[in-house]
Structure 1
């Protein structure tokens, strides 16, 4: 239907031209980005500071001008029929470039957005030595990771994780049985440009499961019109003898665009600070991402596909010490297919965006073969997976955006249809279907010195699970048919208190319907080494959060303080019963009201006239308690990060260099749940250098970083190996080369 309608909107030939110069010298600026976020259309200036953008629709759209070393500028620009002209003089600044926020529908700059959204590029995370995507997100203030070794990790935002944090990739929600603690992200960082984190309830924008926040992964951009490029990236990690390679190619004409990127990675067991290899922490990964786009004046569509295969060992104890890469038992083999289609129609006074996604997740878990006697004969399990679950999910998100003066309004519908099927020897959760539907309305009103945002949403979720097993047996799961619904609202206000101080206040409610595992599970979760028993009578979790942020910034100093208070009704958690099934402890799902509070604060100094010098510091705090005054499990320890960084450009070139030293302090975590162990304080020392060098007239990027340089032997509070006394990774030096083709 979308393709059939497209000829109605592809004949306009509106253009935008102009010149970008330096405000001090008047000299033209080359490589400046001129970008319309809502249209996802942009270009860069040539050596004379000139640019041309074609195939633009009529209407009023946000225009962003950005260049490293200058203040990012944004303006609402009216595109008329024919040729349009926009010239601008950029103001020099040592402040980091202000990026456009894509995880919210209003496409504001970070400083203009009413909600506080953290954003980090993958290049930044790589420069700090991140081995995986799950490892990289822990560099963002307020974000941690529940980890099982190095290869498996899942995001924690202000103390909330699992199904309380939504992950979006390629513009669609990722579904991959994330209820499991050892069920990682299942995504490779190759082909991802940046990460955005919404902290706190995002149910208004995303519905159920966004109660704790959203991790939004922005895919690699298509090439600019008329350009073709390619690159190869090489990574090596000394601790795991790990290597990773990814290569990409992209080309774009005036209307048609194409890109493809492939990646492979392989890691042996990691070593702790005392030189012990953690048996079966090895992992392998293969990943392919590709995309096709067509862009005309009033119609744009893009189709993206991601295939990922991961083989992940699940460490249980310290055993064989070698550098093999094939996982031992137990291990996971996970296939994930993600297909997304994003379509935009631009009318004169409105626009329509329709995004559709299909995710197929094939998860197999293999256990150690075991013998048992039955009627005098010895039998053993075959080589098939003990758990084999296939999860197929179709989701859709349709937004209509009328233009009403300074008010930007979004009306939308959003939904999901999901099917879970079992094919393994054991059943942890039954065959089931889940259907979501939500309707929303949200507005952003811009004033001269402030912005106001509000929204309402209504959601329904239906879960139907089949009967599994034989009634009367301990592994029996009864059929289930539950329906959940919720109204949610959010309101936020951002104001420029002075020219240098801005304040944000956000109040939002959120909800999360209990997931299939919490309602129905009854069996051994081998990855968790425990029997989990669901509760079919669970209610939806509901929360209300107050978030207050103050930010100060001038040309040489930036500082922020961000506090939150989050009350959660009917918080769902696992609790041991003290009983065992065979030799495995039994855990059951229960509910109780909970409270979380804390925040992040920090500063960034780049003093005049030595703007190449950067001093950065950030502090994360989060506390969580149940109504009975016991502590919530898996609360990250308070963290203090201090970085000394220098950056410079080689004279008269665009070749950049940097070096940094970072000290991370993780404080004692003594506020633990009754079945958790406490974690002592530890410090991690990290260093790195990087930049660009010229080889055979090519600009080659390099990064060298050393994490935990002093080989500290420590155990993270959020490590799932903590109960076995297994430490986290020791010293690791990462090498990265980026070679353009």
Structure 2
């Protein structure tokens, strides 16, 4: 113990003694004038600072070779490799640009700006998604072209990337994979947007980077950054939603001093049943509590951080239109879910290389409550006697206090991700990695949908980024092995080799082309292999197939992008061939009045893309017009269309950005989203009608009591249009999506 303590003290002292002061100045490349308040950030160190009004900055950094990213509004973001220590007075020149500032892409292995990336990755700030009026994170990500959501009311949403969802889309948060029984249609993200800084979307197979379950893509949630060196800040916000008479509040504080840094954030969200212009959707109400915390330390040759997230959600499961009220306590049936996420991320820096170690532990405690048959008579008596609705709700509340969960599952997942960033060899950047997880599912309730089982994953990968004068190439290969041991049943093993090859080049002046070819695989999940029971959320009896093989796909992506000072154009097309696609199919039988669905396999094909433009005419840089069209078609080899394929849509947005007297970062927007009819449906689906949704918003920030206050006001579905989204799980019952909603948000920063 004494030796360990001595080692820790010596490492700490070494870190302090080896720090160097890196100073410099940011200037305009044309005028040579200083650029005030530019952002200086080291993505590998997750540390940075802000230049002063004279463009000068100073920061304590350890020895080594690091990537430096410098950005400022109105200028092109600059990324460069530097070596510390270096001479003082480092000058960084930025070029003017009407294009918005770039961010470092974290979800891809080499952490580059998107303009440098071989793979096309979409990135959006959570702040932007909330300003558009999104009620939840799941709704917010649908503002990204090519991304949709399978929804159960407002409370439950799961990402759909180019027509693929559930276990085909992997979600990462705090740098670790999120496991929360995501196979189910009514199992949501389980993540609150408070404390999330941005979201990145990889559209297409990412098995090379993330292994099984990333066959369709990755939703990567970046947690908020720690405070800059020797700085601190606090903020609080509140959002009110008129439609649900709901609110979302959160408050946080973060600080950094002498290499140590910490943050914490808490939030509370409550919504009553959402309203259409005909009725409120009974039991679409929910309550969510969320707490996030982080602790980090950084020295010269290493850094480490720990993060923790606790999310508790009590979610009503709507079944039919009944009681009309604005109460927020869910009725039966409802879910009560606790989701714990622990993560640690460590980096050891060598002279010209580094070692990253990410460990994660996720504990998902899922309880689903439902009414037992002995309550039915009492309910019918209540209806016959026409008792007061509020009293009726109170009886439900009493029931939920005494009812044991019908379905109770605990999912415990330990994951690891170790990557060695080799020294650069000429034009080559190379990463070697090992990833894996151990997962245990255990049942405690009277009903069992999926059995107890243990899953073990192991994968090894190698990938390189090669820089040539006119083209960048990224390639890699990976091997994965998965073993699933099912209690009282069978043990199944799956393995697969996968690879990826991509090119980025400027084919014409200002035209960038990205061509990527990647394979992916997905082992069948526990529900597909061994489910045998009624899935209450979907009102169907599901029967697994122990003989299922793994899915294997090959996807080709072509992304073209044109940029100048006036306009940006993009065209992203894809073709995705999935062998042995697993899907649910009704067999015409019924068990306990529920239709029986069985898991089958067949080859499938998906194709489509996203196309759009962003017009910002110079010198009218304050005016923005954005338009995007997205389409996807999915078919089985027997010519049946795949289920849950989103309808084609066109989104047009006009946005004006301005500073008005003491109000800064101000904006006004008008958005029209046109969703086309979806007639290409699976045999057990119904077609969906076309509709248009109009949204408007305004926002800005100003000084209040010597601190910044930001205010946003937006209205979604402004015309109170009646519509049913094709991916709504309430669609078979003809239940409408949410009507007009006005959102007022206030954030105060200390």
Tell me whether 443-452 or 524-533 shows the greater mean CA deviation: 443-452
Check conservation: 1:13, 1:82, Cα contact below 8 A: no
The answer to whether structure 1 residue 405 and structure 2 residue 414 are counterparts is no
* CA-CA distance at 1:372 after TM superposition: 9.9
Q: Distance in 2 between matches of 1:254 and 1:82?
A: 21
- Whether the 8 Å contact between 2:227 and 2:254 is mirrored in structure 1 is yes
Q: CA deviation at 1:29?
A: 1.9
Residue 463 (structure 1) aligns with: 484
Q: In the alignment, is the contact (CA less than 8 A) between 1:14 and 1:58 conserved in 2?
A: no
Corresponding residue for residue 171 of structure 1: 175
Pick one of 640, 647, 650 that aligns with 2:657: 647
In the alignment, is residue 15 of structure 1 matched against residue 18 of structure 2?
no
Taking the aligned partners of 1:282 and 1:405, their CA distance within structure 2 comes to 58
SS at match of 1:31: coil
Aligned to 2:522: 512
Alignment-derived partner of residue 250 in structure 1: 254
CA offset at residue 402 of structure 1?
1.0
Please tell me whether residue 307 in structure 1 is matched to residue 310 in structure 2.
Answer: yes
Work out whether 1:731 is the aligned partner of 2:740: yes
The answer for the alignment partner of 1:133 in structure 2 is 137
Q: Distance in 1 between matches of 2:375 and 2:227?
A: 60
Number of the residue aligned with 2:123: 119
| 2:92 counterpart of 1:88 | yes
CA distance in 2, matches of 1:385, 1:525: 14
TM-score by length of structure 1 reads 0.95
In 2, the alpha carbon distance for the partners of 1:447 and 1:355 equals: 31
Distance 1:452 1:85, change over 3 A: farther
Supply the distance in 2 between the matched residues of 1:616 and 1:65 (Cα, whole angstroms): 26
Contact 2:22 2:85 (8 Å CA) reproduced: no
Cα deviation, residue 54, structure 1: 1.2
In the TM superposition, residue 608 of structure 1 has moved relative to its aligned partner by 1.6
Residues in 2 aligned to 1:596 and 1:551: alpha-carbon distance in whole angstroms: 23
Aligned: 1:71 with 2:76: yes
CA apart distance, 1:82: 5.7
RMSD across aligned positions (CA):
1.7
* 1:203-214 paired onto structure 2 within 5 Å: 203-214=207-218
CA contact (8 A) 1:15 1:82 kept: no
Answering whether residue 551 of structure 2 is matched by residue 541 of structure 1, we say yes
Matched, 1:326 2:346: no
With the length of structure 2 as denominator, give the TM-score of the two structures. 0.94
1:154 alignment partner in structure 2: 158
CA contact (8 A) 2:61 2:84 kept: no
CA distance in 2, matches of 1:137, 1:714: 20
Task: Tell me if 1:681 matches 2:690.
Answer: yes
Per the TM alignment, residue 37 of structure 1 is displaced from its structure 2 partner at its CA by 1.5
Given that 1:57 and 1:347 are in contact with CA atoms closer than 8 Å, whether structure 2 keeps it comes out as: no
1:58 maps to which of 41, 61, 64: 64
Q: After TM superposition, give the deviation of residue 707 of structure 1 in Å.
A: 0.4
Paired residues for 1:254-273 under 5 Å: 254-272=258-276
- Show the counterpart of 1:36: 42
SS in 2 for 1:87: strand
- CA shift, 1:368, in A, is 1.3
Deviations along 1:242-273, one digit per CA (max 9) or x if unpaired, are 1010000001013000100000000000012x
1:168-317 aligned at under 5 Å gives the runs 168-272=172-276, 274-317=277-320
Q: Distance in 2 between matches of 1:223 and 1:131?
A: 27
Q: Which residue does 2:714 correspond to in 1?
A: 705
1:443 aligns with 2:461: no
| 1:720 correspondence with 2:729 | yes
- Secondary structure, aligned partner of 2:250: strand
1:514 and 1:8, CA in 2 relative to 1: closer, same or farther beyond 3 A?
farther
**Is the 1:211–1:511 contact (alpha carbons within 8 Å) kept by the matching residues of 2?**
yes
Q: Check if 1:453 corresponds to 2:437.
A: no
Q: Which residue is 2:396 aligned to?
A: none
Of 33, 36, 50, which aligns to 1:27?
33
Separation in structure 2 between the aligned mates of residue 577 and residue 609 of structure 1, nearest angstrom: 63
Which residues of 2 match residues 510-589 of structure 1 at below 5 A? 510-589=520-599
Name which of structure 1's ranges 305-314 and 25-34 shifts more when overlaid on structure 2: 25-34
Distance in 1 (CA, whole Å) between partners of 2:622 and 2:236 is: 29
| Shift in Å, 1:88 | 1.7
Instruction: Tell me how far 1:698 sits from its aligned partner.
Output: 2.1
Instruction: State the secondary structure of the residue aligned to 1:138.
Output: helix
Contact 2:622 2:656 in 1 (8 A): yes
Deviation at 1:654, TM superposition (A): 8.3
Q: Secondary structure at the match of 2:116?
A: coil
- Where does structure 1 differ by over 6 angstroms across 4 or more consecutive aligned residues? none
Q: Which ranges in structure 1 are unaligned for 5 or more consecutive residues?
A: 374-379, 468-478
1:83 deviates by 4.7
Instruction: Give the distance between the partners of 2:89 and 2:372, measured in 1 at CA.
Output: 71
Give the length in aligned residue pairs: 720
Which of 419, 432, 436 is the matching residue for 2:440?
Answer: 419
Out of 323-332 and 380-389, give the one that drifted further: 380-389
* Deviation at residue 65 of structure 1 after TM alignment: 0.9
Secondary structure at 1:286's aligned position in 2? Answer: strand
Contact 1:706 1:734 in 2 (8 A): yes
User: Matched residues in 1 for 2:526 and 2:248: separation?
Assistant: 35
